[in-house]
């Protein structure tokens, strides 16, 4: 997009997922240089200096995570790329897997060299069919060209990769559940400590990074940390792949420089709201992030600090645009049905809490809501906060509290009148080709 600097800047063509195309873009030269000219710790130093943050949702600094792995501890180390991408509204990793799989693979190879990893994994969402086929084909091309195997590019460094397909569980995107799933067990998250970088896959030090996070590694090593830091803001260097959907004229995946004006992105670059409607709100970074009203986004720049100051988060970069006329009660209904269905059932507050919340919103939507229901939703959300092993219980609560705080009147109206405030005004959903009563 005009007016910003990009780092990935990866034009998609019909062949951009194939090795010859990637090589023509200078692909795998950075790996070759790292293996021949750099020590593993030099790579970590450069990535740390770049200040790149995790793109999976929590924005944890990559260098700090990698630093925990001791290169001389005599243990096998593992790397897992998190390609589960189960957060509703998020489909930016899918874009990398489909169009730039070699960027991920080259980045993973450089990361494996930095962390002295012999065996690495990509844990890919079960529903991702085309991305899986593209990635697996790229793995085979990379083996054929000598980038994986016993003696990578004749350097003496050995590295193998396994692409592991999930089975459609949202919780398996959580890092500890993900490794438990790779081990062939039920994908339950587990308590920390010990951290996964101390005891992870097969009880060994394991780094888990999101697909987009890892894809930054080859870019950082190619351009250098100093140049990387010139893009974005001081606290959020680089860019974010934003997947934008919902009531928006130009949905898709966009690379956005951190610090870019959010309104300009939505109204100009993405063409604004469908059908010329007003913007009601956005879900900025996957449904686990708090909604921001049209007023909340005024003057806000798209970076971690600014989004937090405005009451939400960058999250996983999965932005959903919601037009005026959309019923927030029904929206929360869809969200709570998802959370209830996806709770792994291990922690009581999440297992029972999600069920209670789902049943409450279900009866509101059916016209059987009770006056105390809104406060009950808030109470259960707050009781979940910090009481579960993984962040899912908290996230569902934040999303719920966020919607109720801003649209309580819609819930009150629904309960008092046994119908949505917006019934009979569903043009937006219809214009978007969605069923009126989804």
Ligand X SMILES: Cc1cc2nc3c(=O)[nH]c(=O)nc-3n(C[C@H](O)[C@H](O)[C@H](O)COP(=O)(O)O)c2cc1C
Stretch that binds ligand X, among 36-44, 49-57, 240-248, 365-373 (CB under 6 A): 49-57
Please, what is the end-to-end C-alpha distance for the chain in angstroms? 33
Q: Interface with ligand X includes 216 (CB under 6 A)?
A: no
Residue from the set 84, 255, 257, 303 that interacts with ligand X by CB under 6 A: 84
- The alpha carbon of 9 is separated from its chain's Cα centroid by a whole number of angstroms, namely 19
Instruction: State in angstroms the smallest separation of the CB of 78 from ligand X.
Output: 14
Instruction: State in angstroms the smallest separation of the CB of 55 from ligand X.
Output: 5
Nearer CB in complex with ligand X: 208/253 = 208
Residue 396 dihedral angles phi and psi, to the nearest 5°: -60, -40
- Say how far apart CA 15 and CA 250 lie, in whole Å: 23
Residue from the set 27, 51, 86, 261 that interacts with ligand X by CB under 6 A: 86
Q: Interface with ligand X includes 201 (CB under 6 A)?
A: no
Residue from the set 56, 88, 232, 318 that interacts with ligand X by CB under 6 A: 56
Alpha helices by DSSP H, 38-171: 40-50, 62-67, 92-99, 101-115, 129-144
Residue from the set 30, 48, 82, 116 that interacts with ligand X by CB under 6 A: 82
Instruction: State in angstroms the smallest separation of the CB of 123 from ligand X.
Output: 9
Q: Could you tell me how many residues of this chain bind ligand X (CB under 6 A)?
A: 23
Stretch that binds ligand X, among 82-90, 108-116, 241-249, 261-269 (CB under 6 A): 82-90
Nearer CB in complex with ligand X: 155/387 = 387
Looking at residues 162 to 181 of the shown chain, list those that interact with ligand X (rule: CB under 6 A).
170-171, 173-175
Contacts of 130 (CB under 8 A, 6+ apart): 98
Instruction: State the number of CA atoms in the 13 A half-sphere of 111 facing the CB.
Output: 37
Contacts of 304 (CB under 8 A, 6+ apart): 53, 59, 235, 236, 258, 313, 314
Looking at residues 345 to 404 of the shown chain, list those that interact with ligand X (rule: CB under 6 A).
390-392
* x-marked contacts with ligand X along 250-289 as a string, rule CB under 6 A: ----------------------------------------
Nearer CB in complex with ligand X: 197/326 = 197
The 8-class DSSP code of residue 320 comes to E
- The alpha carbon of 195 is separated from its chain's Cα centroid by a whole number of angstroms, namely 21
Q: Interface with ligand X includes 87 (CB under 6 A)?
A: yes
Instruction: State in angstroms the smallest separation of the CB of 380 from ligand X.
Output: 18
- Say how far apart CA 228 and CA 236 lie, in whole Å: 11
Token pair in block for residue 411: 């819930």
Alpha helices by DSSP H, 232-318: 262-263, 304-309
CB 214 within 8 A of CB 208: no
Residue from the set 12, 24, 58, 405 that interacts with ligand X by CB under 6 A: 58
- Say how far apart CA 238 and CA 302 lie, in whole Å: 12
Nearer CB in complex with ligand X: 35/96 = 96
Residue from the set 6, 32, 38, 60 that interacts with ligand X by CB under 6 A: 60
Neighbours of 435 (CB within 10 A): 8
CB 232 within 8 A of CB 241: no
Q: Which residues bind ligand X (CB under 6 A)?
A: 54-58, 60, 82, 84-87, 170-171, 173-175, 208-210, 213, 390-392
């Amino acid at each position: 997009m005009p007016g910003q600097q990009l780092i990935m800047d990866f034009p998609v063509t019909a062949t951009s997922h194939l090795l010859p195309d990637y090589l023509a873009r200078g692909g795998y030269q950075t790996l070759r240089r790292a293996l021949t000219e750099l020590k593993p710790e030099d790579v970590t130093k450069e990535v740390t200096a770049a200040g790149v943050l995790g793109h999976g949702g929590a924005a944890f600094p990559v260098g700090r995570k990698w630093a925990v792995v001791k290169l001389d501890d005599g243990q096998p180390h593992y790397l897992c790329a998190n390609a589960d991408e189960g957060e509703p509204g998020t489909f930016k990793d899918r874009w990398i897997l489909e169009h730039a799989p070699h960027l991920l693979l080259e980045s993973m190879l450089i990361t494996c060299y930095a962390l002295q990893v012999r065996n690495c994994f990509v844990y890919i969402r079960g529903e991702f069919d085309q991305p899986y086929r593209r990635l697996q084909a790229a793995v085979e091309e990379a083996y054929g060209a000598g980038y994986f195997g016993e003696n990578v590019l004749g350097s003496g460094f050995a590295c193998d990769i396994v692409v592991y397909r999930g089975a459609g569980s949202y919780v398996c995107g959580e890092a500890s559940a993900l490794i438990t799933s790779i081990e062939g067990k039920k994908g339950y998250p587990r308590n920390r400590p010990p951290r996964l970088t101390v005891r992870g896959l097969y009880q060994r030090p394991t780094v888990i990074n999101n697909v987009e996070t890892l894809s930054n590694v080859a870019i950082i090593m190619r351009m250098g940390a100093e140049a990387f830091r010139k893009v974005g803001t001081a606290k959020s260097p680089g860019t974010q792949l934003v997947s934008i959907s919902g009531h928006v004229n130009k949905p898709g995946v966009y690379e956005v420089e951190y610090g870019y004006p959010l309104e300009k992105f939505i109204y100009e670059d993405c063409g604004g709201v469908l059908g010329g409607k007003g913007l009601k709100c956005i879900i900025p970074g996957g449904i686990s992030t708090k909604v921001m009203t049209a007023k909340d986004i005024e003057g806000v720049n798209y970076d971690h600090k600014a989004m937090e100051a405005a009451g939400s988060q960058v999250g996983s970069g999965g932005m959903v645009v919601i037009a005026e006329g959309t019923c927030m009660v029904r929206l929360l209904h869809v969200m709570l049905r998802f959370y209830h269905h996806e709770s792994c059932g291990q922690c009581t507050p999440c297992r029972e809490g999600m069920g209670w919340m789902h049943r409450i919103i279900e009866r509101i939507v059916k016209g059987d809501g009770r006056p105390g229901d809104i406060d009950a939703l808030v109470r259960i959300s707050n009781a979940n906060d910090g009481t579960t092993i993984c962040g899912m219980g908290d996230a569902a609560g934040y999303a719920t509290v966020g919607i109720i705080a801003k649209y309580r009147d819609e819930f009150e109206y629904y309960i008092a009148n046994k119908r949505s405030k917006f019934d009979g005004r569903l043009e937006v959903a219809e214009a978007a080709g969605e069923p009126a009563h989804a």
